[in-house]
Structures are given as structure tokens and as C-alpha cells.
Structure 1
Amino acid sequence: MRLAALLTSFSLAAPAAAGDFVLQFPLDCTLGEDCRIQQFTDHDPGSGATDFTCGTLSYDGHKGTDFALPYLTDMQAGVAVRAAADGVVRGTRNSMPDQYATAQNEAAIDGKECGNGVVLSHGSGWETQYCHMKRGSVRVESGQKVRAGDVLGEVGLSGRTQFPHLHLSVRKDGEVVDPFAPDRLGSCGSPPARTLWAEPLPYQPGGLIGAGFASAIPGFDAIQAGTAGEAPLAADAPALVFWAYAYGSQAGDRLELSVTGPGGELVSHGETLERTQAQLFRAAGRRLRGGQWPAGSYTGTARLLRDGAEVGRFSRAMVIPPAADAASQ
């Protein structure tokens, strides 16, 4: 399928050659499992935005790579940010609050959009910058030497941001470099000849961040916070709702939600998405019409489809106990 071929081709770019500037993965997480790349460096020289594949995972003027965590609860638990290469600390900031950027705090953020962070100098004109780190987590100082893999701090929500993530910028002689396509900023499309990553990172053009069950349609703030899931639901829950949290959707994508239970298929919902969005959620379910939900296993599955091909899938299971068992717990 076309999408599968795209995924494979862009993940097989050659790693940096011996003697090149090389980057290690900068977070304590597993890409595609408990973190994702939400946005890449913008390759459109005009007012639009494209990532290095000519895809939509960027925004106008974006100068780095955004490694995102699924939920605020993951940020609060603590995810280490690590130096991507040997270097010397050129500057730090560590006192900005972790909060969503809003019109009310715009003035306080102005000029400090990076939030808390670290800038490392690597010699030969190379720099890396680590943004949006958690307040109080930065553990290095200006002038300090670091090695690749050393902990710099933790992922946060400081500066101009709407989700917990690390923004990593790479520069050579002050100019932005896209580590996924270091030889061609300003154009996109064909697979790059090389990357700066010691181990090439796969390109995922959107997908599912998570999914869960609830007794009512949750708010987006609860989804983002990681507090929307209520499983297992009580046998007398007023509704059985399955929600899915997605990223990188494009207009024309289809998001499908289904739930099977002890009696077979309980929910089957499909929706063609009208807009390209960085993040979104959808929910579908059924109200309880008297009695109780049958005890047993329930499985919810979310699928994001693009041109008929599956971009992402996420499943969640729960067990509703018999009413008598639930009452005794």
C-alpha cells in the first residue's frame, strides 16, 4: 500500500557517516509507544508548512522537532531529557511555570517562547537547543561539559506550548538544520540521503495517541490531562463511551471506533474528518436503557485510516464485574 511504502522509505535513510555530527535520541521513552513526534521542522519557504516528506506534521516557521508525551500525567511522572551529543552548556532557563500558553499569559511568555531549557555548543558551529522543560528540573549549568546521554532535565509544559513535549532545535553556524533531512532545508518529498540520527527514526504520518472508556463523553482537557479513562465501568454506569485521542489527522481521513462486549458488537462508529488537525478526539457509545451492563470483557478499538490504509490503531480492554461483585469491592 502507498502509505506503508512511505513509512518504510523514510525510515531507511542512511544514518550519519563516521566523522559527521551525530545525534542520539534525546528522551527516556520509546518512540511510537510512550512518546511520538508531533511536529517536524518546516520545509516550506513560504507561508505554508510541510515536513521533510511534504506531509502536514509541521507549522509555519517551525524550527525543530517536537517529541511529545501522551498526557500531562506522563509529564508529571517525569521523563528525562538527555543530551543528544557531547557538548558544553551555553545557557539555561529553569524558572518558568508549566502551563498552557494562553492570551492571558502571552506577555509573560513573549521573548521566552522556548520556556525552560538548555542550549549546548558542540563545536564546529553545531548547537542543539532543548525547550519546554519542566520548571526546576534543569540540572546542568552554563560552562558545564556534558556527554551524549547525560540527563539535562525533564519534559515540561513551559513557554509557548499546548502539550507536554521536548522541542529540539539543531543549528549549524546559526542556521536551522533538520536532523531528518540535513542537506535540503527548504524542499521536501524524496527520501533524504542521510540523517543526523545515529539510529534513523521512522516517520509516522499521524496516528492514535490513546483511547479509553468513560461513563460520559469527556472534555478535551481531561483527555489531554490523562484523566478521562474510567475503566472498569460500574455495571450501572449511565453510559458506555469509548473515546480515542489522535494526532496528525488530515482532511478526508476516517476515524473508526468500535466496542465489542459479551453480547457481540456494542458500538460501531465511523467519521470522515473534515479538517487537518494537530490533535483531536472523538467518542461514541451507548446509554444504559434500564438494567445493567452485562458482566464480562469489553474491547474498544480505534482506527485512523488514510486513503483506505490504516495509519494507526489503538485498543483498550476492560472487564465489567457482576453487580454483586462490584458492590462488595
Structure 2
Amino acid sequence: MKDRGQSAGYYIGIVLAGLFFISLGRAVGDTDNSPRFISPVDCSVPLECSIQNYVDARPGTGYRDYTCGTLSYERHKGTDFRVLRYDLYLKGVPVLAVADGIVLHQRSDASDGDYILKGDGAVYRQEVGNNVVIDHLNGWQTTYAHLKKGSVTVSSGDKVNAGDVIGIVGLSGKTEFPHLHFQTSYNKGLIDPFTGEKPSGCITPTKNSLWNLPDGNFFEYKSTGIVDVGFASQPPEQKLLAFHSEQKRISVSENPEFLVFWGELWGLRIADRLTLKFKNPKGEIITNQKILKNNQASFMYYNGMKRPKSGWINGTYTGKITLERLVNRKWQVIASSQKQQLLP
């Protein structure tokens, strides 16, 4: 299982403890024993976590999510809950059992970040990384993948209740960003939890949705957003931002040689406009702007300055990133975020 957050697709199959998830399907209304799910992540969606990829709703070639949007990729079989803000991820976001059940399988010894650091060979036949599979009876099962090494709190045969912590969101297996890959099956056939049905096309009614969130809420569909922003002492390596070592490398000292403001975004579209502003304590502003030439599942943009010969001006530096999109031939702000850095 690989959830790269890139536009290229790949096939996800789960072979766990003799379980093979295939698309046998479920007809609307053929069962009245469907479970109801709480959120599998203990974070606010879409404020602290976002859904970056949904189940691929389009049979055959091409891909679409259940709304006919593009938040999926070829044959993607799950829902990817991405953690926004790297400090939140490094602190630890609990993964929760979505409903009562019995643990069928678990793994917790796969290292985080092997795919990023070492490539395909390091995760061969271990694409799901650390994971938990729960049986909810009557043919229903859920899978929780890419969990943090050593974080799994349950064992095979354990009974769990909805809301029990079963692990922590991680970076294990074949993935390029911190997230939980959540997958649902009925009688071993893939089910999209947003429709309660086998993927058979987009704009599918959600009356059979398996989600049962507080106050009857539904996960907000958000096609674009900001992952995180920050100041750094040098340009960050986007793919390494989830590692403690990279956060330490780019941390800002009292007198850094460089001061860089960066922003990482997801779900960008062709012709989107990014504006990055860097303001020093005197109010002087450096502005950079870029119009995207391609769709980007994940994108980083940054600018900054080198320490002046006279030294840094003491005070607060402000960075701001704004994403705009043409809507009815007018630029519309889709997302914006800023951060401040005090020197010294």
C-alpha cells in the first residue's frame, strides 16, 4: 500500500494474515447490518487533519473520488487522513477504532520513513507498514495502515470498542507523507465508507454512508489546503519535513545565516497562483509569485534572505503564503496562512 500524495497512481492490494481484499462489491440495500463509523483519527478534520485521497470511484482506467473530484488516484482503495502541521504529527495523533470489533491482525515493527530514505526495496511486500485489521462481524472489516513504529496498542484477538486507541499516525510502509490509510470491506469486497457501496462511479448518493460523526456531521470535502508553514535557517527538504532530524537541521538560531519562509500545500490545480510575502521588522516586504503549470498533489514554495552585513534587524519577521484560483475569471483566495519569527 503506497499513498504517495503524488499524481501518479499505483495498485493497492492488502495481503494480511490470509486476507485478500478484492472488489466483490455490495448491492445497495442488500444488508441492514452495516456498521456506523466514528472518525479513525483523533484530530479535527479539516483543521488539524485533511482527507487528501479518497477511494477511487471510477472503475477501469482513470480516477475520481466519490464527488467526481480528483482527490484520488488509480485504484486507490482507502481514505487517506493526512496530519496537517508537522509539530502535531511529531507530537503524535492517535488512531481510533471506528466501531466495536475484534482485532484480526496487527504489526508494529516496521520503521518509519524507509520508503522515503531507502526506496522501493526497503518496503518490498511491506507496503502497508504497521497496521491493524479489525473484524466488525457480519462480514465487515476495517484496516488502518502506515502506523508509527511501536505504537500499536492491541493484539490479535483483542476486543475493541469504538474510540479505543489502536496506534499512532505514522510514516511506515510505502508512503511519502504522514497519514492514516483507512480501508473498509464487506465480505472481502472493497467499500467506500462515504457511500457505503462498492465503487462504481462518482456522484454516488451518500444516504448509505457509514460515517456516524457527532451531531450528524459529515466530513467536509476540501479539495485544496495548506499542510504547514514555517521559518527555517535554510531551505527545507519537503520529503524530510516529517523527520525530527530535518526539523532540527532547519531550526532557526538567534543569528542564522539565512532566514527562509516556506509553505507546503496540497491539491493544487493548473493555473493556481501562489504569492509569498516576507516582511522584516521595518515593514519592508519581499514578494514572490508563481502560477502553476500543472496540477500538484503536493507542492512547496519558499523565499528568504541572507543575513545582511550589518546583521539582522531585531524584531518580528512575518511570512505569508496565499493561494488564489481563477473563478469566473476573477482571482479568488482559496487558502492563506502566515507565521512570525522573532530575532534574535
Bin of the TM-score, shorter chain as denominator length: 0.7 to 0.9
C-alpha distance in structure 1 between counterparts of 2:262 and 2:122, whole Å: 35
Which position in structure 2 is the counterpart of 1:271?
290
Q: Secondary structure at the residue paired with 2:136?
A: strand
Decide whether aligned partners of structure 1 residues 23 and 170 sit closer, same or farther in structure 2, where only a CA change above 3 A counts.
same
Q: Does 1:51 align with 2:65?
A: yes
Provide the residue aligned with 2:238 in structure 1: 220
Flag structure 2 segments of 5+ consecutive residues without an equivalent.
1-31
Instruction: Provide structure 1 residue ranges, at least 5 long, that are not aligned to the other structure.
Output: 1-17, 322-329
Matched, 1:142 2:156: yes
Distance in 1, Cα, partners of 2:115 & 2:193: 27
Residue 117 of structure 1 deviates from its aligned partner by 0.8
Give per-residue Cα distances to partners, 1:102-123, cap 9 Å, x unaligned.
6955345333321111111112
> Could you tell me whether the CA contact under 8 Å between 2:102 and 2:158 is conserved in 1?
yes
Q: Secondary structure at the match of 1:101?
A: helix
Q: 2:333 aligns with which of 291, 302, 310?
A: 310
- Aligned-residue sequence identity (percent) comes to 36
State the distance in 2 between where 1:282 and 1:201 align: 28
Partners of 2:168 and 2:260 in 1: CA distance: 34
Question: Take 2:273 and 2:200, find their aligned partners in 1: how far apart are those partners?
Answer: 30
Single out whichever of 80-89 and 51-60 deviates more from structure 2: 51-60
Q: CA RMSD in A?
A: 2.6
- In structure 2, do the counterparts of structure 1 residues 105 and 190 end up closer, same or farther at CA, with 3 Å as the change threshold? closer
Please report how far the alpha carbon of residue 301 of structure 1 lies from its aligned counterpart in structure 2 after TM superposition. 1.2
Instruction: Mark the CA change 1:177 to 1:241 in structure 2 (over 3 Å): closer, same or farther.
Output: same
2:195 counterpart residue number: 181
- Tell me the alpha carbon deviations over residues 175-229 of structure 1, each in whole angstroms, 9 at most, x when there is no partner: 2111122247232247734532112111111211111122432222443436175
**Aligned CA distance change for structure 1 residues 143 and 288 (closer, same or farther; 3 Å):** closer
Match of 2:316 among 297, 309, 313: 297
Name the aligned partner's letter for residue 160 of structure 2.
Answer: V
Amino acid at match of 1:248: G
Give the one of 77, 80, 84 matched to 2:91: 77
In structure 2, how many angstroms separate the alpha carbons of the residues matched to 1:23 and 1:88? Answer: 15
CA deviation profile, 1:36-68 (whole Å, cap 9, x unmatched) = 222111112122222222222211111001112
Partner residue of 1:192 out of 206, 220, 224: 206
Q: Is the CA contact 2:315–2:343 (under 8 Å) kept in the aligned structure 1?
A: yes
* Structure 2 equivalent of residue 23 of structure 1: 37
The answer as to whether partners of 2:232 and 2:261 remain within 8 angstroms in 1 is yes
Whole-angstrom distance in 1 between the partners of 2:314 and 2:90? 34
**1:232-247 maps to which residues of 2 (within 5 A)?**
234=254, 237-247=256-266
Q: Would the alpha carbon gap of residues 315 and 190 (structure 1) be closer, same or farther in structure 2, given more than 3 Å must change? A: farther
CA distance in 1: counterparts of 2:283 and 2:121, whole angstroms: 54
Of 211, 216, 225, the match for 1:207: 225
| Contact 1:71–1:224 (Cα < 8 Å) also in 2 | no
Q: Label 1:290 to 1:131 Cα distance change in 2 as closer, same or farther (>3 A).
A: same
Residues 194/272 of structure 1: CA separation in 2 closer, same or farther (3 Å cut): farther
Q: How many residues align?
A: 302
State the Cα distance separating 1:237 from its structure 2 match.
4.1
Deviates more, 1:63-72 or 1:99-108: 99-108
**Offset from partner CA, 1:272-295 (integer Å, 9 cap, x none):** 112222212011223444323332
AA at the equivalent of 1:259: F
Scaled by the length of structure 2, the TM-score of the pair is 0.79
TM-score, L = length of structure 1: 0.82
> CA shift at 1:94, angstroms?
2.1
